[in-house]
Amino acid sequence: MRVRYFAWLRSRLNRAEEDVAVPAGVTTLNGLLDHLITLSPGHAAVFADRTILRAAINQVFADLDSAFTPTDEVAFFPPVTGG
Amino acid sequence: MRVRYFAWLRSRLNRAEEDVAVPAGVTTLNGLLDHLITLSPGHAAVFADRTILRAAINQVFADLDSAFTPTDEVAFFPPVTGG
Amino acid sequence: MSGSIASRVQAEPFEPGAELARFTKAAPGAGAIVSFTGLVRGEDHAGRALTAMTLEHYPGMTEAQVHAMTEEAARRWSLLSVLVIHRFGRLEAGAPIVFVATASPHRRAAFEAADFLMDWLKTKAPFWKLEEGAEGAEWVAAKAEDDQAAARWR
Amino acid sequence: MSGSIASRVQAEPFEPGAELARFTKAAPGAGAIVSFTGLVRGEDHAGRALTAMTLEHYPGMTEAQVHAMTEEAARRWSLLSVLVIHRFGRLEAGAPIVFVATASPHRRAAFEAADFLMDWLKTKAPFWKLEEGAEGAEWVAAKAEDDQAAARWR
């Protein structure tokens, strides 16, 4: 599935999005993060502290314990700082 | 001394100001009002309810128990409604 | 710390947009600018059609009171700049009566100072509204809620 | 109840004064109009000189979130009209970032709705600020005070 990154997650991972093969049994964003940190040391570092991560499923804010399906658009980013 | 009136005090008294001969011994706005109500039935009606009267001495808001001198500019008016 | 503190009490109409444009240009360093515009509504306090109103004021005292408020707001919130414009005389329905603008590094100060200025203008500036409707002219009564709002800032 | 609910998320600059002029004209019946303008300050969060900033956003989600906020504000306060403009991309120091305008018969609703919209834009719209100073670019951290401000409106 396609996973999108914004702000310092994007710049530190050096990519705005990537295709991720979601392992069987992974159904929540926390489960997805458990998988992402295995992809590279860079991923492990960026996703190490989940308290500073925010997420959206299909462009709606979602808690990390939210469930998703492989056709959803998932995004991770830091707390927003607009306005 | 010169006494000024605004808003419905002015329109009901039909004058924006008048010269008032302040009796000896009158030193506060309440004392002045005690005198003003003797001037005419119109004055008596306009100044009957002091809870809806506001005043200024030398263009600064003043309570009705404030003291004034004959050289001061005294004004009576209703609560303000600008803004 | 304040840059520009300005107030105008005038019979002439003014344009809120033009005033905000000018105010924004003259507030370098500001991170937040709040403006308030009060307009003559098309109905009176009882909901009847209103064609116009006349604002009576106390010349001299009005200018002093309004300017003192701007200084008080700039002092309480360390504003970069503040502007108050208040009209008097006859105003048609839809016309702007009052304009307040506040500039500050941060938004909380700009919001609070503008809110404060409006509450004080409603209760401490010597203006009186005479509404003109189909049934004649009527002096507007002061509202207890305005006194309560102003009391928040003591 | 609501006249016009509008929001724009755009790279192009805008003029707060021109926006307020247009908004005021399009809000007949309003007694109170509040505007908020947020600008790029000439210094960063640590007080160092700032030349510009870049606002990253989440295309699609941003527009939906911002529009949902305007509808929420119009619903909570029965506004006559509401407008939000938020820029993204590169902005020079002094440039307007965000503009909020609210129109209502009475001032309390206009003030509260504008205040609410800014608190929600700060915490619920997917924008991220990258500040450019003499020492390079740095992502701005979210502020706990913004979360606390937004929590007032629950």
Q: What is the CATH number of the domain that holds C75?
A: 3.90.1170.40
Average pLDDT, rounded, for chain B: 97
Strand partners, B3: B18, B74
Instruction: Judge whether residue D29 has pLDDT over 50.
Output: yes
What is the distance between the alpha carbons of residues C114 and A6, in angstroms, rounded to a whole number? 36
Kindly tell me whether chain B and chain C come into contact, counting contact as 3+ Cβ pairs under 8 Å. yes
What 3-state class would DSSP assign to B21? coil
CB burial of B42-74 (b: ≥16 within 10 Å; e: otherwise) equals: ebeebbeeeeebbbbbebeebebebebeeebbb
Q: Is B82 inside a domain boundary? A: no
Q: What is the CATH number of the domain that holds A65?
A: 3.10.20.30
Q: What is the mean pLDDT of residues D28-57?
A: 92
> Distance, in angstroms, between C52 CA and closest chain B CA?
15
**Chain-chain contact of C35 with D20 (C-beta, under 8 angstroms):** yes
Of C24, C42, C107, the CB nearest to D16: C24
SS3 content of chain C, % helix, strand, coil (to 5): 35, 35, 30
Amino acid letter, A41 = P
Q: What is the pLDDT along chain B (83 residues), one digit of tens a residue?
A: 999 999 999 999 999 999 999 999 999 999 999 999 999 999 999 999 999 999 999 999 999 999 999 999 999 999 999 99
Between the alpha carbon of residue D1 and those of residues C27, C44, C92, D79, D118, the distances in Å are 36, 19, 24, 7, 22
What lies within 8 Å, CB to CB, of A58 at 6+ separation is A72, A73
Total domain count, chain B:
1
Amino acid D1: pLDDT = 46
- Which of D14, D19, D20 should be substituted to probe chain C, the one whose Cβ sees the most C Cβ atoms within 10 Å? D20
Which stretches of chain C score pLDDT less than 50?
1-2
Q: Is B83 inside a domain boundary? A: no
Total domain count, chain D:
1
For D117, name the nearest residue in chain A, comparing CA atoms only: A83
Neighbours of chain A (3+ CB pairs under 8 A): D
What is the distance between the alpha carbons of residues D30 and C7, in angstroms, rounded to a whole number? 23
pLDDT, one tens digit per residue, over C140-154 is 999 999 999 999 998
Amino acid C1: pLDDT = 45
Q: How many beta-carbon pairs under 8 angstroms link A with D? A: 73
C38 vs B contacts (CB less than 8 Å):
83
Q: Provide the pairing of β-strand B60-62 with B54-57.
A: antiparallel
SS3 content of chain B, % helix, strand, coil (to 5): 30, 25, 45
Cβ(D124)–Cβ(D70) under 8 Å? Answer: no
pLDDT, one tens digit per residue, over D108-144 is 999 999 999 999 999 999 999 999 888 889 999 999 9
B15 vs C contacts (CB less than 8 Å):
none
- Domain ranges, residue B21: 2-77
- Domain ranges, residue C134: 5-151
Which tokens go with D92?
Answer: 């020079």
Q: Is B30 inside a domain boundary? A: yes
Which stretches of chain A score pLDDT less than 70?
none
Neighbours of chain D (3+ CB pairs under 8 A): A, C
For D146, name the nearest residue in chain A, comparing CA atoms only: A81
Task: Locate all alpha helices (DSSP H) within D1-98, ordered by sequence.
Answer: 16-25, 61-77
C51 or D1, which is more confident? C51
Of C55, C64, C143, the CB nearest to B82: C55
Place of tokens 């008032």: B20
Residues of chain D whose beta carbon is less than 8 angstroms from a beta carbon of chain A are 38, 55-58, 60-61, 64, 86, 97-98, 118, 121-130, 139-143, 146
D55 vs A contacts (CB less than 8 Å):
82
C111–D contact, CB cutoff 8 A: yes
